[in-house]
Chain A
């Protein structure tokens, strides 16, 4: 089976964006 690195990148990239955005939101709201 081909490695499909594009799918791996998409999964990790999406998770990083979602979790990173939530983390950032918590920190920002905590500071304000």
Chain B
């Protein structure tokens, strides 16, 4: 199952590159630098998804004390931090030629940076506490609290005057982009979601093995 998911993710990523660089047209205003979008937006989608999974798994852990839920939360947080890092780095690289700066303390960028730091703290907290049950309980609480930043990130572009543009697809109503650009973006969404699923599955399996070895 895991191996199949890995191959599907790899095939999806290749398809995403073909769509993003071969099929989608050159954007009129920004030129080819806009193609960073096919990396940046799916990355932040996966980060949202990963931390939403942490939120649900953390609630499940606190309610039922199921170790499987804790393993899912831990794996998803790790993968989420990875993709948030990719989001911040790709956004910064995209920002330099389009905004004229690598970074600005804009509400969207700042709230994403806070998310990154909070889940880094989540992973550090897990690593610092030796007692497994206590580590799982404390990190579940942090996983729930940190997820409250997700709606703040999403709505920050509406609530504050920001340099970052409002969403083009993750919003009510039809997407505001040409069909081929949208198609390329959707293929990358699927590919990145498959990659997320593969990473989480593999990481959960490793955590289970490590816990069994320690027991």
- Which A residues have a C-beta under 8 Å from some C-beta of B? 1-5, 7-8, 10-12, 14-15, 18-19, 22-23, 26-27, 29-30
- Which B residues have a C-beta under 8 Å from some C-beta of A? 26, 29-33, 35-36, 39-40, 43, 82, 85-86, 89-90, 93-94, 96-98, 195, 199, 202-203, 205-206
CB-CB under 8 A from A18, the residues of chain B are 82, 85-86, 89
A4-B31, A26-B203, A30-B205 are known contacts; what are 12 more A-B pairs with Cβ within 8 Å?
A1-B31, A7-B93, A7-B94, A8-B32, A14-B89, A15-B39, A15-B43, A19-B82, A19-B195, A23-B199, A26-B199, A29-B206
6 A-B pairs in the complex with CB atoms less than 8 angstroms apart: A1-B33, A3-B31, A4-B31, A4-B33, A14-B86, A19-B195
Q: Is the CB–CB distance between A7 and B36 below 8 Å? A: yes
Contact among A3, A5, A14, A30 for B93, CB-based, below 8 A:
A14
CB-CB under 8 A from A3, the residues of chain B are 26, 31-33
Q: Is the CB–CB distance between B32 and A11 below 8 Å? A: no
Give the complex CA separation of A11 and B94 in angstroms: 8
Q: Is the CB–CB distance between A7 and B96 below 8 Å? A: yes
How far does the Cβ of A7 sit from chain B's closest Cβ, in whole Å? 5
Give the complex CA separation of A18 and B123 in angstroms: 18
Q: Is the CB–CB distance between A11 and B89 below 8 Å? A: yes
How far does the Cβ of A32 sit from chain B's closest Cβ, in whole Å? 10
CB-CB under 8 A from A15, the residues of chain B are 39, 43, 86, 89-90
Give the complex CA separation of A29 and B203 in angstroms: 10
Give the complex CA separation of A7 and B90 in angstroms: 9
Known: A7-B33, A14-B89, A15-B86. A30 touches B202 (CB 8 A): yes
Known: A1-B31, A15-B86, A18-B86. A10 touches B206 (CB 8 A): no
Q: Is the CB–CB distance between B39 and A11 below 8 Å? A: yes
Give the complex CA separation of A23 and B97 in angstroms: 30
How far does the Cβ of B112 sit from chain A's closest Cβ, in whole Å? 16
Give the complex CA separation of A10 and B96 in angstroms: 12
Give the complex CA separation of A29 and B204 in angstroms: 12
CB-CB under 8 A from B86, the residues of chain A are 14-15, 18-19
Q: Is the CB–CB distance between A7 and B39 below 8 Å? A: no
CB-CB under 8 A from A5, the residues of chain B are 32-33
Give the complex CA separation of A18 and B89 in angstroms: 11
